[in-house]
């Protein structure tokens, strides 16, 4: 399996986990993002941009599914 496919699977897995378990949008979230960014060796800016984009995608997909049912 190449790295591109691994990345695709990782994103699908992450989005599924967010849908199943949710994410707490609290003031502590930025600190948590910073801690993870430091642990995995990326910048806070990159980590924040990534989390924001994934959360937005999950929200948009959730409302798209809701609108199709209603």
Domain extent at residue 61: 3-69
pTM value surpassing 0.85: no
Of the pLDDT bands very low, low, confident and very high (cuts 50, 70, 90), residue 8 is very high
The pLDDT tens digits of the residues spanning 16-39 come to: 999 899 888 888 999 999 999 999
**Inter-residue contact 23 to 32 (CB < 8 Å):** no
Tally of structural domains, the chain:
1
CB-based contacts of 20-29 (< 8 A; 24+ apart in sequence): 23/55, 25/55
d(CA 70, CA 66): 6
Q: How much is the average pLDDT of 40-63? A: 94
d(CA 13, CA 22): 13
């Amino acid at each position: 399996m190449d790295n591109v496919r691994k990345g695709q699977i990782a994103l699908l897995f992450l989005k599924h986990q967010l849908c199943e378990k949710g994410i707490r949008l609290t003031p502590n979230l930025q600190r948590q993002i910073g801690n993870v960014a430091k642990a995995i060796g990326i910048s806070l800016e990159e980590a924040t941009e990534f989390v924001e984009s994934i959360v937005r995608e999950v929200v948009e997909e959730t409302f798209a599914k809701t609108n199709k049912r209603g």
